[in-house]
Amino acid sequence: MAAKRSGGQSKQSERKVPPPSGPEPRSEQPLSLERIVATAVELLDSEGIDGLKMRRLADCLGAGAMSLYWHVGNKEEVFDLALDSVLAYRGPVPIDASQDWRGEVVHMLKDWRAGMLRHPWSAALLPRRALGPNILARLELLSSTLSRAGVADADLNVAIWSLWNYVIGATTTRASFDLSDDDRAAAQQRLTSLSQHYPTIERSRLLLDNDWDGAFSKGLDFLLDGLVPKQ
Amino acid sequence: MAAKRSGGQSKQSERKVPPPSGPEPRSEQPLSLERIVATAVELLDSEGIDGLKMRRLADCLGAGAMSLYWHVGNKEEVFDLALDSVLAYRGPVPIDASQDWRGEVVHMLKDWRAGMLRHPWSAALLPRRALGPNILARLELLSSTLSRAGVADADLNVAIWSLWNYVIGATTTRASFDLSDDDRAAAQQRLTSLSQHYPTIERSRLLLDNDWDGAFSKGLDFLLDGLVPKQ
DNA sequence: GATTGACTCGTACAGTGTACGATGCGAGTT
DNA sequence: AACTCGCATCGTACACTGTACGAGTCAATC
């Protein structure tokens, strides 16, 4: 197991500031990896995953299309960087430190999910990408917390992957099933018209219940119950 | 909650067989939705998700590129059809019927995962697509089985989504992390070089353990333990 | 023979990512 | 001052994509 993508690391270095003349008249400051990634995130937020074109991104930056390729190896790398930039984690309020392991885990995973739903494109991107430093940091936090909570080293692997799977599955699903009301109405109609084939699905209101957050929390509790049985 | 995609349903109907003259000399039988989908699956299997181009698909079928568009609305629809065609489920051997609910659930979910891993592109496709009939059938089976197992209607929703999340997360992860040995070696090296930052990850051999199947089974057991506590 | 409708496909177009090479620029070095 | 050199930018060009459009084929029907 490990991550894909051949480490890119394109050129570029620090640059002399243009003689400090107050806030530039916008869009004339030099290109930089940070600016590129930040703008890519904005673009992804507003236009979605297919809305990110190299030319468009360059336009938003007030640059020529090919200028981006000095800072970035290819479009894929832009995706990688945008994804990891969105997954930074500052940790919980440090008050309840180290007492409540379960609270910490839940907090981090909820924050993870929330962050990805704030940038829905990230959910679709995650499975295909490398493990960036922010993701690894979260996994490390998860590992150490669970270890402190008493999960045996032999089970740690399974525990982490189970939680990972749960979060990934939940966010990708949620991100792609977030519909307009019209869509929802159409889907409801379609489903009831097929209700003789799927009676239990209908009874459970599987596709109609909108309480994604609650479902995520409850399911996470169940999973944690299984992983670390209450003594 | 519901499915995306505006129902397509492109033209096409049954066609008169060319006067039965034994097995055609290959690649001269007429186009059909079935042939298109089957060939698309083959192509996806061998070339991956980016390897499916309309022109290439048409070539493989011995047809002109634009002929496909008589049977199919657009490329997206090809993806939808290929995905659902891969997710049919025949059910378990009917011997142990209805006794062992947990065995049934595990069997279906393992089969689900196995099917998707046989066609790794399907994992990447699933989250973005509509719920086809084969997927809905699996969800219905899951619902009814869990219901029989004693899960309250109020919890059914959470239970189903939890299992869904787990399966989706596990398969997409597995499908995108399936690396060559070289890749794995490189990743191992990279990780150990960062081991001071991620000590617990290293200790748990998170990225190095290759027993995906075992991890999937164990995690699934934990989750089911949480969902339906052993009485 | 004429008409119709199912089906096929060649051509064309508006994009896409990016290879390549020309250009500008600021700092050393001589 | 003239020079080189590395960083950084960008215009042009190319190969390739999905697919709109319309002309073509062919069998069944009138």
Last residue of a domain, one of A50, A83, A116: A83
* CA angle in degrees (0–180, nearest 5) for A12-A18-A20: 135
Residue A25 falls inside a structural domain: no
Burial code (b: 16+ CB inside 10 Å, e: under 16) for A34-53 equals ebbbebbbebbbeeeeeebe
Closest residue in B to A182 (Cα–Cα) = B2
Q: What is the pLDDT of residue B19?
A: 41
**How long is the CA A49 to C1' D23 vector, in angstroms?**
38
- Which of chain A's residues have a Cβ under 8 Å away from the Cβ of B170? 161, 165, 169
Q: Which has the minimum average pLDDT: A207-221, B164-178, B187-201? A: B187-201
* Disruptive mutation site among B125, B141, B164, B206 for chain A (greatest number of A CBs within 10 Å): B206
A119-147 pLDDT, tens digit per residue, is 999 988 887 676 778 888 899 999 999 98
Are A98 and A139 part of one and the same domain? yes
Q: Which has the minimum average pLDDT: A25-29, B23-27, B192-196? A: B23-27
Say whether residue B139 is in contact with chain A using an 8 A CB cutoff. yes
Are A105 and A158 part of one and the same domain? yes
Q: What is the pLDDT of residue B24?
A: 36
Our CA-based measurement puts residue A180 at a distance from the nearest CA of chain B, in whole angstroms, of 9
Cα–Cα distance for residue pair A87/A13, rounded to 1 Å? 24
Q: Is the confidence at residue B106, as pLDDT, over 90?
A: yes
Q: What is the pLDDT of residue A180?
A: 59
Residue B59 falls inside a structural domain: yes
Q: What is the pLDDT of residue A16?
A: 40
Average pLDDT score over residue span B46-73: 96
Percent of chain B surpassing pLDDT 70: 79
CB contact under 8 A, B207 and A140: no
Are B104 and B80 part of one and the same domain? no
Q: What is the pLDDT of residue A176?
A: 78
Closest residue in B to A123 (Cα–Cα) = B127
Last residue of a domain, one of B63, B85, B107: B85
Q: Is the confidence at residue B18, as pLDDT, over 60?
A: no
How confident is the prediction along chain A (231 residues), in pLDDT tens digits per residue? 433 343 344 555 444 444 433 333 334 678 899 999 999 999 999 999 999 999 999 999 999 999 999 999 999 999 999 999 999 888 765 555 567 889 999 999 999 999 999 999 998 888 767 677 888 889 999 999 998 888 888 889 899 999 999 999 999 888 877 665 666 677 777 777 777 788 888 888 777 777 899 999 999 999 999 998 876
User: Residue A40 sits in a domain of what CATH number?
Assistant: 1.10.10.60
**How long is the CA A73 to C1' C21 vector, in angstroms?**
18
Are B133 and B210 part of one and the same domain? yes
Q: What is the pLDDT of residue B160?
A: 93
Residue A11 falls inside a structural domain: no
Give the containing element (helix H, strand E) for B76: helix B75-85
Residue B221 falls inside a structural domain: yes
- Which of chain A's residues have a Cβ under 8 Å away from the Cβ of B101? none
Are B217 and B152 part of one and the same domain? yes
Q: What is the pLDDT of residue B220?
A: 97
Mean pLDDT of chain B: 82
Q: What is the pLDDT of residue A188?
A: 72
Are B62 and B151 part of one and the same domain? no
Last residue of a domain, one of A20, A51, A83: A83
End-to-end CA distance of chain A: 33
Are B134 and B217 part of one and the same domain? yes
- Which of chain B's residues have a Cβ under 8 Å away from the Cβ of A201? 136, 139-140, 143
Residues 172-231 of chain A within 7 A of strand D, judged by CB, are: none
Say whether residue A140 is in contact with chain B using an 8 A CB cutoff. yes
Our CA-based measurement puts residue A221 at a distance from the nearest CA of chain B, in whole angstroms, of 8
B128-160 pLDDT, tens digit per residue, is 676 778 888 899 999 999 988 888 888 898 999
Q: What is the pLDDT of residue A117?
A: 92
- Greatest Cα-to-Cα distance within chain A, rounded to the nearest angstrom: 73
**Number of separate domains in chain B:** 2
Strand nucleotide closest to residue A16 (CA to C1'): C26
Q: What is the pLDDT of residue B22?
A: 35
**How long is the CA A209 to C1' D10 vector, in angstroms?**
52
Residue A158 falls inside a structural domain: yes
Containing structural domain, residue A106:
94-227
Are A154 and A204 part of one and the same domain? yes
Cα–Cα distance for residue pair A124/A116, rounded to 1 Å? 10
CB contact under 8 A, A176 and B215: no
**How long is the CA B66 to C1' C13 vector, in angstroms?**
15
Q: What is the pLDDT of residue B20?
A: 40
Are A123 and A200 part of one and the same domain? yes
Q: Give φ, ψ of A222 to 5 degrees.
A: -60, -45
Are A158 and A198 part of one and the same domain? yes
Q: What is the pLDDT of residue A8?
A: 43
Are B105 and B166 part of one and the same domain? yes
Q: What is the pLDDT of residue B63?
A: 94
Under the banding of pLDDT at 50, 70 and 90, the label for residue B94 is: low
Residue with tokens 């990780």: B191
Tokens (6 digits) for A82: 């945008």
Are B115 and B203 part of one and the same domain? yes
Residue B11 falls inside a structural domain: no
Percent of chain B surpassing pLDDT 90: 49
Residue A164 falls inside a structural domain: yes
Q: Indicate if CB(B36) is under 7 A from strand C.
A: no
Say whether residue B191 is in contact with chain A using an 8 A CB cutoff. yes
**How long is the CA B7 to C1' C4 vector, in angstroms?**
28
Closest residue in A to B6 (Cα–Cα) = A183
Q: What is the pLDDT of residue B45?
A: 96
User: Residue A102 sits in a domain of what CATH number?
Assistant: 1.10.357.10
Considering only CB atoms, B165 lies closest to which of A7, A153, A169, namely A169
Residue B126 falls inside a structural domain: yes
Q: What is the pLDDT of residue A182?
A: 63
- Classify burial at A54, counting beta carbons within 10 Å of its beta carbon; exposed 0-12, middle 13-18, buried 19 or more: middle
Q: Is the confidence at residue B95, as pLDDT, over 90?
A: no
